[in-house]
Amino acid sequence: MAAVGKSVELQLSAAWSRLSTGLVPAAALGLEAPGLESSDEFPEDEMRAALEVLQRYNLHLVVVEWFMEVLQIDLQRKIAPEFWDFLTQRENMVTEQQRSKLLYDAFCMVDKRLASYLCSLKHLEIWEEAGLINSVGPGTLKDKVYNMFKAVLFFSTTQSFQEIIYEFYTRAFSIYVHRDKNLRSGDSMSEEEDESAVDDTEVLHCMGCNSEKDQCWCVTAVEQFTQVNNVLHSLNLLERISADAITTILHKMIEEHVGRLCRGEYENSFLSQLEEWLESKVICWLSMVFLQKPSKAAASPTSNTLQRWRIHLQFFLYQVYANMRIDELFSIIRDFPESKAALQDLKICLERTNQRQQLLTSLKTALETRLLHPGVNTSDVITLYISAIKALRELDPSMVILEVVCEPVRKYLRTRDDTVR
pLDDT at 11: 82
C-alpha angle 375/376/379, rounded to 5°? 145
pLDDT class of 135 with cuts at 50, 70, 90: confident
H/E element holding 250? Answer: helix 238-262
| pTM of the shown model | 0.83
Per the CB < 8 A criterion, the answer to whether 216 and 209 are in contact is: yes
Beta strands 205-206 and 211-212 are antiparallel
Using the CB atoms, write b or e for 6-36: b if 16+ within 10 Å: eeeeeebeebbebbbbbbbbbebeeeeeebb
Angle between helix 96-129 and helix 80-87 axes, rounded to 10 deg: 170
Pick 300 or 21 by higher pLDDT. Answer: 21
pLDDT class of 185 with cuts at 50, 70, 90: very low
Tell me what percent of the residues of the chain surpass a pLDDT of 90: 49
Mean pLDDT, the chain, whole residue set = 84
Q: Does residue 301 register a pLDDT over 80?
A: no
Angle between helix 238-262 and helix 159-179 axes, rounded to 10 deg: 50
Specify the amino acid at residue 36: L
**Across residues 319-345, what is the average pLDDT?**
96
Question: What confidence tens digit (pLDDT) does each residue in 88-117 have?
Answer: 887 677 789 999 999 999 999 999 999 999
**Across residues 130-134, what is the average pLDDT?**
82
pLDDT class of 298 with cuts at 50, 70, 90: very low
In the chain, % helix, strand, coil (3-state, to 5) comes to 75, 0, 25
Work out the end-to-end distance of the chain between its first and last CA atoms, rounded to an integer number of angstroms: 118
Cis peptide before 337 (omega within 30 of 0): yes
CA distances from 390 to 205, 230, 380, 394 (A): 52, 55, 16, 7
Domain positions in the chain: 8-28+42-156, 158-184+206-328, 354-420
**Across residues 80-94, what is the average pLDDT?**
84
Q: Does residue 81 register a pLDDT over 50?
A: yes
Residues making up the chain, counted from first to last = 421
Per the CB < 8 A criterion, the answer to whether 144 and 242 are in contact is: no
Question: What confidence tens digit (pLDDT) does each residue in 351-374 have?
Answer: 999 899 999 999 999 988 888 777
Using the CB atoms, write b or e for 143-155: b if 16+ within 10 Å: ebbbebbeebbbe
Smallest CA-to-CA distance from 182 within 253, 251, 93, 281 is with 281
pLDDT class of 302 with cuts at 50, 70, 90: low
